Amino acid sequence: MTLPTLLIITGRSGSGKSTAIAALEDAGFYCVDNMPVAMLPKFLELPLEGASDATGFAFVMDLREKGFFSSYKTILGTLGDKGYPIEIVFLEADRDTLLRRYSQSRRQHPLARKGRTLSQAIEAEKEKLEDLRGEAEYVIDTSQASVHDLKSMIQDIAEKSVELAPCV
C-alpha cells in the first residue's frame, strides 16, 4: 500500500500560503487550510470521499494554532515513523514586501493583535518561525514572485514529492 505524501505548508503570514495551497489543490492534492497539528493523525484515519484519488495531502499549519510549536515535531515524527512521506514547505518574504502586502489587504497580522505594530508583529513572527524554517525541505522567498511564479514553484515541488512517495 502506498501512503499519501503529506506536504506541510507553513511560513510567514502574508508570504503566499493560501496561493500555495490552491496550487496544490490544482495539482490533485487533498488540501486543508489551518489544520490543527494535533488533529492530523485522526484526520488521516478518516475515510474521506474522493481522497483515494488524491495525489497527496497538503496542510497549511502555522502559528495561528496556539499549540503548533509545542506539538508539531512529535506528531510529524510519529507520522513519519508510520511511513508517511512528509515534506515541509516554508514560505517567506522580506519585511518591506510583507508590510506592503498587509497595507494592501484588510487582514490583520495574527501577532498584531497583542498590542504590537505591524512591523513589530512581522519581526516577532520571524523570530518564532526560525527553527521551523531550518527544518523545512523547501524554503521559498516570495518577495519578488508573482502569483503565477509561486504556483509554478509549488507545482514543481508537488511533482517531486509524488515521485518520492514510497510503497509500504
pLDDT tens figures, 81-111 = 999 999 999 999 999 999 999 988 878 888 8
pLDDT for residue 166: 45
Which residue reads 496544490 in cell numbers?
24
Tell me how many degrees the CA angle 75-3-60 measures, rounded to the nearest 5: 50
Q: Would you say residue 145 lies in a domain?
A: yes
Domain membership of residue 137 as a residue range: 5-162
How far is Cα 24 from Cα 30, in angstroms, rounded to an integer? 8
Q: Would you say residue 167 lies in a domain?
A: no
Residue 40 has pLDDT above 60, yes or no: yes
- pTM here is 0.90
Count of the separate structural domains present in the chain? 1
Q: Would you say residue 57 lies in a domain?
A: yes
CATH of the domain at 87: 3.40.50.300
**5-15 average pLDDT score:** 94
Higher pLDDT, 45 or 19: 19
Q: Would you say residue 52 lies in a domain?
A: yes
**18-32 average pLDDT score:** 93
Q: Would you say residue 141 lies in a domain?
A: yes
